[in-house]
């Protein structure tokens, strides 16, 4: 079986490559196994926002917002070619659920949680320029607020973190599907299908970063570990053949008052997202549904009636949310790091945000500390540049 690695990671999405980066930066030997392609799962199908998550203030997720805003600052500094600040616009009309004072209150809290750093301020702006430039409907408009968040290319960011991990010594195997795991004598033996052959690896710690496949991967492990009850929630985006708007519009869907973003994306306009329970068994088979496409087109036409809205593409991704008997909006969005006392050194990542990947990876490494040997630190992920 060869040498025993310090850390093995199942899944080459943002969370898997981030743990690889943090482990390699801490001086550990590490390998990532990805069954399809790097970022081929949820990490290429997000809204592509590096944000604190203004709307999570409504569900009291203050620590998630604070952490995400701090990570946003680091990314703006360390990855300026991949993460760029973008103005966000919130229009308020008589039917908008959140009143102007509530928007101002939320944005003030957002600025405070961001410690009033650059790109945390907000202001009320005149609607005329935007109406003319982007075609925003101004009938009955009661106020238009502008604040800042950031946008990225999620797949490119994931690949950049992977490159950073590799440059620190991490090994990345792809395509490489983990087909079995046995825990024996404090070591995890991992069976990996590498192209036509089967290989075996050994590692002291194992991280399950399989995204929507999380429980399928947990079920591969012997002896069996408890899985958590989850819902896979599908989110769809559409891309329409209209020029990119001058910023990101944060609007309320008239149908159900959900928050929807209308964003610039590669010179065109992207609209998203939806939330529907995914009933399929294969996460790779998720596809945009016709009713989701129609819902998003209706939202777009409601706010930008003069735009054509000719559909050119649509894509869907899956969120992992811990099962609760309430609606998806109210569920915690931070990563839940699950461990099982009978399997020391195994950590399983449920859910989470693209934005908080680095902080989550550092927390994972802290929790693995007791099973890993002491090593000489090579780098600090807070200052590693990403290109």
The residues binding ligand FAD (CB under 6 A) are 10-16, 33-36, 40-43, 46-49, 177-178, 209-213, 217, 235, 273, 317-319, 349, 352-355
Q: Find the helix or strand (DSSP H, E) in which 297 lies.
A: helix 290-303
**Shortest Cβ distance from residue 328 to ligand FAD (Å)?**
11
* Residue 132 phi, psi (nearest 5): -70, -45
Report residue 367 as tokens: 């929790």
Nearer CB in complex with ligand FAD: 27/240:
240
Nearer CB in complex with ligand FAD: 48/358:
48
Nearer CB in complex with ligand FAD: 27/70:
70
**Shortest Cβ distance from residue 211 to ligand FAD (Å)?**
2
**Shortest Cβ distance from residue 275 to ligand FAD (Å)?**
8
Q: Which residue is nearest to ligand FAD (CB)?
A: 13
**Shortest Cβ distance from residue 138 to ligand FAD (Å)?**
27
Cα separation values, 251 from 264, 293, 304, 309, Å: 14, 17, 11, 16
Q: 154: exposed, middle or buried (C-beta count within 10 Å: 0-12, 13-18, 19+)? A: buried
Q: How many residues does the chain have?
A: 387
In angstroms, rounded to a whole number, what is the distance separating the alpha carbons of residues 199 and 177? 10
**Shortest Cβ distance from residue 139 to ligand FAD (Å)?**
30
Report residue 107 as tokens: 């944005």
Nearer CB in complex with ligand FAD: 47/120:
47
Nearer CB in complex with ligand FAD: 273/381:
273
**Shortest Cβ distance from residue 94 to ligand FAD (Å)?**
29
The two most distant CA atoms of the chain are separated, in Å, by 70
Nearer CB in complex with ligand FAD: 27/159:
159
In angstroms, rounded to a whole number, what is the distance separating the alpha carbons of residues 325 and 35? 33
The bridge status of strand 143-152 relative to strand 268-272 is: unpaired
């Amino acid at each position: 079986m060869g040498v025993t690695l310090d850390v093995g990671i199942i899944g080459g999405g943002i969370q898997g490559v981030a743990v690889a980066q943090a482990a390699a930066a801490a001086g550990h030997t590490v390998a990532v196994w990805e069954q399809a392609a790097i970022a081929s799962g949820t990490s290429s199908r997000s809204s592509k926002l590096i944000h604190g998550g203004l709307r999570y203030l409504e569900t009291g997720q203050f620590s998630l917002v604070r952490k995400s805003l701090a990570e946003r600052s680091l990314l703006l500094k360390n990855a300026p070619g991949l993460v760029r600040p973008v103005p966000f616009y919130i229009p308020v009309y008589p039917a908008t659920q959140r009143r102007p004072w509530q928007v101002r209150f939320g944005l003030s809290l957002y600025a405070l949680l961001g410690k009033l750093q650059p790109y945390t301020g907000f202001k009320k702006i005149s609607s005329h320029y935007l109406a003319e430039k982007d075609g925003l409907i101004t009938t009955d408009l009661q106020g238009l607020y502008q604040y800042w968040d950031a946008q990225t290319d999620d797949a490119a960011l994931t690949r950049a973190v992977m490159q950073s991990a590799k440059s620190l010594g991490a090994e990345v195997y792809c395509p490489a599907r983990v087909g079995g795991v046995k825990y024996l004598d404090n070591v995890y033996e991992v069976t990996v299908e590498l192209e036509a052959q089967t290989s075996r690896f050994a590692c002291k710690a194992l991280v399950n970063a399989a995204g929507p496949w999380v429980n399928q991967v947990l079920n591969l492990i012997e002896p069996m570990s408890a899985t958590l009850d989850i819902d896979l929630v599908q989110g769809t985006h559409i891309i329409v053949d209209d020029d990119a708007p001058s910023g990101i519009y944060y609007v309320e869907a008239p149908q159900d008052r959900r928050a929807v973003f209308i964003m610039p994306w590669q010179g065109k306009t992207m609209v998203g997202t939806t939330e529907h329970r995914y009933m399929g068994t294969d996460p790779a088979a998720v596809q945009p549904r016709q009713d989701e496409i129609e819902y998003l087109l209706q939202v777009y036409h409601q706010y930008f009636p003069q735009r054509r809205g000719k559909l050119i593409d649509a894509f869907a991704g899956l969120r992992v949310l811990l099962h609760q008997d309430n609606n998806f909006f109210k569920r915690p969005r931070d990563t839940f790091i699950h461990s099982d006392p009978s399997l020391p050194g195994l950590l399983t990542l449920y859910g989470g945000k693209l934005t908080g990947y680095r902080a989550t990876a550092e927390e994972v490494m802290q929790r693995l500390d007791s099973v890993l040997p002491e090593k000489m630190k090579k780098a600090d992920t807070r200052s590693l540049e990403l290109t």
